[in-house]
């Protein structure tokens, strides 16, 4: 809950600041105590909270699905098995509808992306003050750190480093299979011989740099749009939860109204977090399908 002694601006900035570890300007390594120190650490700094929750949620996903697989039965299935089977069937239908090539990697990757991104987004439904408050108390009691200097963002998908990391991984796979399936010459041809083409060699020579510019921009737009769409939607949702949480410090009337707003936004946000996971997965499947299409398939 927002502290009365803390300004609204300070409260928002505190919740939007990652727990950062890196090298300080004087050469020693440690955690940043404020946004300025985190910025001074530069590119090599690590957002510990993003890494922690990303790995933890990934392990939860593996544990749940492994548990369902280990206890799978042909008799009357339990609730977990029913859920996992429904998710797997849903992913399988999505892949069959969007992916026309042959690659045993695509379906497992789509399943991993959907569940992993959904779990990351789901953390946005946890009240914004709960886990950061626990982290602040642990930091104060165990390490003697001022709770206001303990930062703990719990929604990895509100960190562009996480969304860009996932999109770049998809982008690298797309490039790899584009070259593997089409050959380097075929992939280069896609970038230089489309969309403008001519049988006249002189005109074709003129079109090649234009085509390359257009196709290269389109190629780079894929990981950018994939990452920024997820990041932007989740960041906006988190910001709304933070603004609603500030209402609790304004008295019981404002707090009660804030509680109704929080409930309404949380219900609506369930659709958003699911939709964003689905969009990220679907675009990944589409990009992989494009990587497997040869010139005959265009």
Sign of the alpha-carbon dihedral angle for 108, 110, 111, 116: positive
Of the CA atoms within 13 Å of residue 187, those in its CB half-sphere come to 16
The helix-helix angle for 48-70 and 79-98 (nearest 10°) equals 110
Rg (CA), the chain: 23
Q: Annotated catalytic residue: which of 82, 233, 249, 295?
A: 233
Q: Annotated catalytic residue: which of 98, 161, 229, 249?
A: 229
Q: Annotated catalytic residue: which of 82, 200, 225, 295?
A: 225
46, burial (CB in 10 Å: exposed 0-12, middle 13-18, buried 19+): middle
Active site (annotated) includes residue 225: yes
CA distance 91 to 250: 45
For residue 21, list its beta bridge partners. 31, 46
Active site (annotated) includes residue 233: yes
Dihedral angle, C-alpha 201, 204, 208, 209, nearest 10 °: 90
List CB contacts of 124: < 8 A, sequence separation 6 or more. 155, 157, 158, 234, 237, 238, 241, 269, 273
Phi, psi of 179 (to 5 degrees): -75, -40
Active site (annotated) includes residue 103: no
The helix-helix angle for 252-292 and 106-122 (nearest 10°) equals 170
Question: What residues are labeled active site?
Answer: 225, 229, 233
């Amino acid at each position: 809950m927002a502290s009365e002694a803390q300004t609204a601006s300070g409260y928002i900035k505190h919740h939007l600041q990652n727990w950062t570890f890196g090298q300080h300007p004087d050469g020693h390594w440690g955690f940043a105590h404020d946004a300025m120190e985190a910025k001074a650490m530069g590119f090599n700094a690590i957002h510990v909270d993003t890494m922690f929750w990303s790995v933890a949620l990934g392990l939860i996903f593996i544990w749940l699905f492994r548990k369902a697989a280990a206890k799978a039965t042909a008799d009357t299935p339990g609730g977990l098995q029913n859920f996992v089977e429904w998710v797997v069937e849903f992913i399988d239908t999505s892949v069959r509808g969007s992916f026309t090539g042959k690659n045993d990697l695509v379906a497992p990757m789509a399943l991993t992306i959907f569940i992993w991104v959904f779990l990351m987004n789901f953390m946005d439904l946890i009240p914004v003050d709960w886990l950061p408050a626990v982290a602040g108390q642990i930091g104060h009691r165990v390490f003697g750190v001022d709770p206001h200097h303990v930062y703990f963002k719990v929604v990895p998908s509100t960190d562009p480093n996480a969304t860009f990391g996932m999109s770049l991984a998809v982008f690298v796979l797309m490039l790899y299979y584009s070259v593997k399936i089409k050959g380097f010459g075929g992939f280069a041809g896609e970038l230089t011989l489309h969309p403008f083409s001519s049988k006249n060699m002189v005109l074709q020579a003129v079109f090649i740099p234009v085509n390359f510019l257009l196709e290269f921009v389109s190629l780079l737009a894929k990981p950018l749009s994939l990452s920024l769409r997820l990041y932007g939607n989740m960041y906006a949702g988190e910001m709304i939860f933070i603004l609603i949480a500030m209402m609790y410090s304004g008295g019981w009337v404002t707090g009660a109204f804030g509680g109704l707003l929080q409930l309404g936004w949380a219900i609506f946000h369930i659709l958003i977090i699911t939709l964003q996971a689905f969009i990220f997965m679907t675009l990944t499947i589409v990009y992989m399908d494009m990587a497997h299409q040869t010139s005959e398939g265009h």
